[in-house]
Amino acid sequence: MSKKSYQMVKGKLRQLSMWSEELKAIKNEGRFQRVVGTFKNGKVRKVWFNTCQACQGAFPQDSIELDHITEITTAVSVVSKTEVEVDWERFMTLLWPSKASLQRLCGLCHGEKTQRYTQERVKALKGPGGLL
Ligand SMILES: [Zn+2]
């Protein structure tokens, strides 16, 4: 299929997966509250935290990111500059939130993992027999 159509379908499916109950459950799993101070009225101020599954650090729940353990694009083969071939069965298994497909990471670990993968993929596509 054309790269353009693929991007469109991928975008919509990603969006759908983000609204799923499975995703919320995985995001909230293992979260815990920490006292971070007191309000002016003397009430204890607590914030939800969660653990990064890579560095094991504790981070505010709001800053925890969900990462696809195996990148979704491994289900996509580049055929030419404008065409791709998608293994939709594999694509959905990798995309749809489950304990096997998602992990909670801090922003730094997520950024590093994504960068590493992107560099390797671009290298492979540009290398001998590559398509870019
Ligand atoms: Zn981390």
Task: Report the DSSP pairing between strands 84-86 and 76-78.
Answer: antiparallel
- Describe the crossing of helices 88-95 and 3-18 by its angle, rounded to 10 degrees: 30
How close is the Cα of 48 to the center of ligand 1, in Å?
Answer: 16
The model carries a pTM of 0.82
How close is the Cα of 103 to the center of ligand 1, in Å?
Answer: 11
**67 with 60: CB under 8 angstroms?**
no
How close is the Cα of 21 to the center of ligand 1, in Å?
Answer: 24
**66 with 27: CB under 8 angstroms?**
yes
pLDDT > 90: percent of the chain: 86
* Res 51: pLDDT: 98
Give the Cα separation of 89 and 30 in Å (integer): 29
How close is the Cα of 66 to the center of ligand 1, in Å?
Answer: 11
How close is the Cα of 14 to the center of ligand 1, in Å?
Answer: 23
Highest mean pLDDT pick, 46-50, 71-75, 114-118:
46-50
Cβ neighbour number for residue 7 with a 10 Å cutoff: 11
* Res 127: pLDDT: 73
pLDDT bucket at 131, cuts 50 / 70 / 90: low
Tell me the three state secondary structure of residue 11: helix
Residue 23 has pLDDT above 90, yes or no: yes
Residue 125 has pLDDT above 90, yes or no: no
Across 32-42, average pLDDT: 94
Ligand 1 (single-atom ion) residues, CB below 5 Å: 52, 54-55, 106, 109
How close is the Cα of 122 to the center of ligand 1, in Å?
Answer: 24
Mean confidence (pLDDT) of the chain: 93
How close is the Cα of 70 to the center of ligand 1, in Å?
Answer: 17
Q: 124 vs 22, which has greater pLDDT?
A: 22
How close is the Cα of 114 to the center of ligand 1, in Å?
Answer: 13
Give the Cα separation of 67 and 94 in Å (integer): 11
* Res 37: pLDDT: 94
Residue 130 has pLDDT above 90, yes or no: no
SS3 content of the chain, % helix, strand, coil (to 5): 45, 25, 30
